[in-house]
A and B are shown apart, each in its own frame.
Chain A
Amino acid sequence: MAEQIVKPDLKFINDVIAAGGESLKKCFQCATCSVVCNVTPDDRPFPRKEMVHAQWGLKDRLFANPDIWLCHQCSDCTAYCPRGAKPGEVLGAVRKLSLQHYSTPGFLAKMVGDPKFLVLLLAVPAVIFLLIITYMGNLNMASIPRGEEGGIVYAKFIPVPFIDAVFIAAATFAAIVFVTGVLKYWKDMSQGVSLSGSLGASIIAVVTDILSHKRFRKCDVTKGRSTSHMLVFFSFVGLAITTTIAVVYIYGLKWESPYPLSDPMKILGNASAAALLLGLALVIINRLKNVDKAGIGSYYDWLFIGVVTSVVVTGVLSELLRLGDIAQMAYPIYFIHLVTVFFLFAYAPFSKMAHMVYRATAMVFAKQSGRE
């Protein structure tokens, strides 16, 4: 390869360290990580080269690279690293910085990655929904109207159109951020790389890989992770289908909630929620079990796990409290549910949630560029 002027960036090195890659500098480039990694391509394998790029503060090389996303953080590398450099965690930190790099506005990305701003970020949806509640005159929970059968009806607490307006706005924002970020990422990766094959075919192949968790199953050290991830993943798919049906019910069939528990949509939704709870429990147990080998993970990881857990727990509780008619708890919990759902979707491009978009993009790019 031709000689390149290398401009190391000390600030970036410090950023990686601060983002959860505090073990970064321990790497002495023995390449054990690349040898034990089951998901890396054989040609120019990761994460050895990513480690030196990070140590030398060469952020452009790291960002414009599908490899940081091809990594599934199995932590085989971390477990076998003779120096405790935890390449898996370092790559996690680099991915976080990559999201901050590609997701605009950048300040929002920094805020999501920084525990100092957690309260402020939560305050945004909290204020929005509080305004709606105030506008509806529902601050006094006793005065909230009941349904025809006297039960709790959340649509009467915060009417569906308000919720949909807020979430459509949030989702649109997230989608725009995702699209611009992914396009920029694709453009950066494409520099000097020749792509071949049909994009459609690559996308289909990647979707198949994702659905089967083919790559994830190659992990050795954190074997259980593919199962727990699969549970979480398909729960989300189930919940997405549930939401779609709900839209059809409300706007197509003009059916109003709540729906009976025997309704197929309700069954799917509740089953998905149960699967998600189980999946999350496994995620947390696996992480705690593998602390010695894979590391405890960063704030960024735990924020994502925390938000998803909050969404599902408050969701399930909302339903149970509604059915149990415990209004004093039901409304506040439902409020929290809405706040956390907003957090999950509106901030998705800046949080670990974004991994699904960027990893999928990187996988498609890898197929197109013959990296697999």
Chain B
Amino acid sequence: MEKKYGVYICKGCGIGESVDMQKLIAQAAKAAKLPADKIKTHDILCSPEGIALISADMKDGGVNAMTIAACSPRVKYEEFNFPGCVVSRINLRELLSWNQTPNTADTQNLAEDYVRMGAIRAQKSEVPEPNILPDLSKTILVIGGGITGLTAALESANAGYQVVLVEKEAELGGWGAKLYKQTPREYPYDRLEEPAVIAKIKEVQGNGNIKVYTSTTVEKTEGQPGLYDVTLRKNGGSETIIKAGAIVLAAGWKPYDATRLTHLGYGLPNVVTSVEFEEIAKKGKITRPSDGKEAKKVAFIQCAGSRDPEHLPYCSSFCCATSLKQAKYVREKNQDAMVFIYYKDIRTPGQTELFYKNMQNDAGVLLTKADVTGISEAGGGNLFVEAENTFLGEKIKVEADLVVLAIGVVPATAAPQQYLDKLAVEGKKGDEAKKTFLESTAKPEMLLNLVYKQGPEIPTLEGAYGFADSNFICFQYETRRTGIYAAGCIRQPMNMADAADDAAGAALKAIQCLEHVSQGIAVHPRAWDASFPDPLMTRCTSCKRCTEECPFGAIEEDAKGTPFFKINRCRRCGTCMGSCPERIVSFKDYHVDMIGSMIKSLDVPDEGIRIICLVCENDAYPALDTAGFNHIQMHPGIRFIPVRCLGSTNLVWVADAFSRGIDGLLLLGCKFGENYQCHFVKGSELADYRFSKVQETLDKLQLEADRCNLMQVAITDYDKLPDMINEFIKKVEAFGPNPFKGM
């Protein structure tokens, strides 16, 4: 495409009053290599008249690469949307007219620098063409046939997609189908309901879009979004290979191993788990296992194994509601029966609180906060429940004829994760240790068996206690394996109502994946992005840094160890571009040379400080915009350059900056740690690691290492941002000007 440039400068929102427009136009003309009368200004560029001004220039093979100097690119994107054109947005509002002193030399310089960088961005950008792979499948594979899996299958099928539902048990329904009754889900939350899962099973079985495989597990998952080849195995017997475009992982949970709860009496004749209690209730009267006598004093012990550092450190979310529901079984079957509930805290999330209130109001349901210290035999099959720190203000001992342990949730991902993590630890010790581990440890049931360089299951999420990978702050169903979406209790403990909602969310994500892959655009979070990494492989040295650092396992290696992209797994963060020492990874509209040239285009005067700040587009840049929105004054010597992710920052930019005489380089990125959930997992941590290496180079150049700094910013830190930046500027000022200035 032959590019025809245009530059449009908005004078609205105070921009016109902040700068000398004639001078700015002159600079823009120079940077864009256009005659000054081709640089257009408008009082309100985003107005229909302003847009008409641009559209008129586009007619008949006119302008197709426009530099628009107006407000933040995060606003007015519908107005300044010109499909098929290169659009380079310059932020003269949030970063200038709203946070600088008008009509000073510094402000003028700032505007001119931004206009130059914008012109270069337009010159160095091409319009991306989507990369659509052939033979894409639009089938959604759902792993798990419980409430979550059934709902995900139905939601997908009802939206018109083909679904393959795989369940390892012989029957569909999961735990939900084993219940006597279900916790109320409708106002006034006082009636037990038939398990909703039963109707869902029928619906799934009658749905022509859903193919069900029971007694089946996933033996192998190969490929990428839109192109998965999944091998299914029926009860260790026959094998089927299916094609799928996206996967919903809804493998659910297992009850915690009650045999480890002997301190709560498990093993005594009349101590059962909440799961076992459902079976008792399903048979009719509430009877005791030891002698079949009706139980009239039933004690429920909450958090049996949950919220306990020795067992499950987390809250299992629905056990409180389950015990209240089971208390209702006891009371409905016998009005003279009593229920004692010992809890750490009653936690009934959402509307379940109303059910709790209803149950609390039942005269025969006695609750107390308590630390249960022991369960012992009281004779005749009865049990003493001993507890301290109770509301009664003393240690109490109550005789019950049946004790129910409200057992916690262990996600199906926990066992494989634990196994793989240990395997990795042993593997690092050497082949011998690895071999010993493999021989001595039983391999748990795997869920996906991915054929990925990065491992057979979705990665372990730090601090998630074995629950499935999830970007739980912003994009909860997304795992680091693009195309695979976790939902239900595998992701976090939740009740069936929440699991059904979760399933719908994950199904939508799977559909988004199929649709975006079929258009050749990023699946998420850059869901509009048609660009993709396009490496110049002739210069690849197979150093494998990209394959190591790609957060999404999008880069595999061939037999010779040469990296290649599984492009549908890619989320376009540019981490590969930042990691490549040969700088061969480029996007059509984002590459090392582009940012480098923008840096080099800056006018660095001999006097006055100049700082370049590379800003993460996802959190730090919105924080900057918000600071501007609040008219918080910003130092005029700083030039902000947005980047897709700090993971995409290439070290060569450091040389570009300091050789130009820039006094300091600041990186603003997300907070570290998986639990903060950077959009691209750990971009700012990677940048920090890379820059720790560059500081040696700076030392050699006799430049202070601290001229280069990375700061962690949350999207809400807009008010702290100016102070953070000013502190950095002060530090740099203390070093004095960069000696390379003017060279």
| B366 touching A8, Cβ below 8 Å | yes
Given A29-B369, A56-B368, A10 contacting B338 (CB threshold 8 A): yes
| B363 touching A4, Cβ below 8 Å | no
Within 8 Å by CB of B392, from A17, A25, A53, lies A53
CA distance A291 to B363 in the complex (A): 25
Within 8 Å by CB of B357, from A10, A26, A44, A49, lies A26
Residues of B close to A362: CB separation below 8 A: none
- Nearest B residue to A24 via CB reads B363
| B397 touching A17, Cβ below 8 Å | no
Residues of A close to B340: CB separation below 8 A: 8
Question: A165 within 8 Å of B by Cβ?
Answer: no
B368-403 vs A, CB cutoff 8 Å, 1 = contact: the mask equals: 110000000000000000100001111111110000
Given A8-B340, A52-B391, A56-B368, A13 contacting B398 (CB threshold 8 A): no
In chain B, positions 390-430 with a C-beta closer than 8 Å to chain A are 391-399
| B364 touching A13, Cβ below 8 Å | yes
| B366 touching A2, Cβ below 8 Å | no
Given A3-B386, A8-B340, A28 contacting B396 (CB threshold 8 A): no
| B398 touching A6, Cβ below 8 Å | yes
| A5 touching B363, Cβ below 8 Å | no
| B392 touching A56, Cβ below 8 Å | yes
| A52 touching B397, Cβ below 8 Å | no
B613 to chain A, nearest CB (A): 49
Residues of A close to B397: CB separation below 8 A: 3-6
Question: B439 within 8 Å of A by Cβ?
Answer: no
| B360 touching A26, Cβ below 8 Å | yes
B410 to chain A, nearest CB (A): 30
Given A3-B394, A3-B397, A29-B391, A8 contacting B363 (CB threshold 8 A): no
CA distance A29 to B369 in the complex (A): 9
| B361 touching A8, Cβ below 8 Å | no
Given A3-B386, A56-B366, A25 contacting B361 (CB threshold 8 A): yes
Residues of B close to A4: CB separation below 8 A: 394-397
A181 to chain B, nearest CB (A): 27
Question: B362 within 8 Å of A by Cβ?
Answer: yes
| B364 touching A10, Cβ below 8 Å | yes
Question: A309 within 8 Å of B by Cβ?
Answer: no
Residues of A close to B391: CB separation below 8 A: 29, 49, 52
CA distance A25 to B392 in the complex (A): 15
In chain A, positions 20-52 with a C-beta closer than 8 Å to chain B are 25-26, 28-29, 44, 49, 52
Given A8-B398, A26-B357, A1 contacting B393 (CB threshold 8 A): yes
B380 to chain A, nearest CB (A): 15
- Nearest A residue to B338 via CB reads A10
Residues of B close to A57: CB separation below 8 A: 366
CA distance A77 to B683 in the complex (A): 55
CA distance A179 to B82 in the complex (A): 97
CA distance A14 to B397 in the complex (A): 22
Residues of B close to A6: CB separation below 8 A: 392, 396-398
Question: A55 within 8 Å of B by Cβ?
Answer: yes
Residues of A close to B394: CB separation below 8 A: 1-4
- Nearest A residue to B368 via CB reads A52
| A13 touching B363, Cβ below 8 Å | yes
CA distance A13 to B366 in the complex (A): 10
Residues of B close to A83: CB separation below 8 A: 357
| B393 touching A5, Cβ below 8 Å | no
- Nearest B residue to A48 via CB reads B391
CA distance A109 to B399 in the complex (A): 32
A13 to chain B, nearest CB (A): 5
Within 8 Å by CB of A3, from B363, B393, B395, lies B395
- Nearest B residue to A6 via CB reads B396
CA distance A83 to B393 in the complex (A): 21
CA distance A210 to B18 in the complex (A): 79
A94 to chain B, nearest CB (A): 15
CA distance A49 to B395 in the complex (A): 14
Residues of A close to B369: CB separation below 8 A: 29
In chain A, positions 57-94 with a C-beta closer than 8 Å to chain B are 57-58, 83
- Nearest B residue to A58 via CB reads B392
CA distance A5 to B387 in the complex (A): 11
Where the two chains meet, the residues of B that have a C-beta atom closer than 8 Å to any C-beta of A are 336, 338, 340, 346, 357, 360-369, 386, 391-399
Name 25 A/B residue pairs within 8 A (Cβ), A-sorted: A1-B393, A2-B394, A2-B395, A3-B395, A3-B396, A3-B397, A4-B396, A5-B399, A6-B397, A8-B340, A8-B366, A14-B363, A25-B362, A26-B357, A26-B361, A28-B346, A28-B360, A28-B367, A29-B369, A44-B393, A49-B392, A52-B368, A53-B392, A58-B392, A83-B357
Where the two chains meet, the residues of A that have a C-beta atom closer than 8 Å to any C-beta of B are 1-8, 10, 13-14, 17, 25-26, 28-29, 44, 49, 52-53, 55-58, 83
- Known pairs A4-B395, A49-B391, A58-B392; list 9 more (Cβ under 8 Å): A5-B397, A6-B392, A6-B397, A10-B336, A13-B363, A25-B365, A26-B357, A29-B368, A53-B392
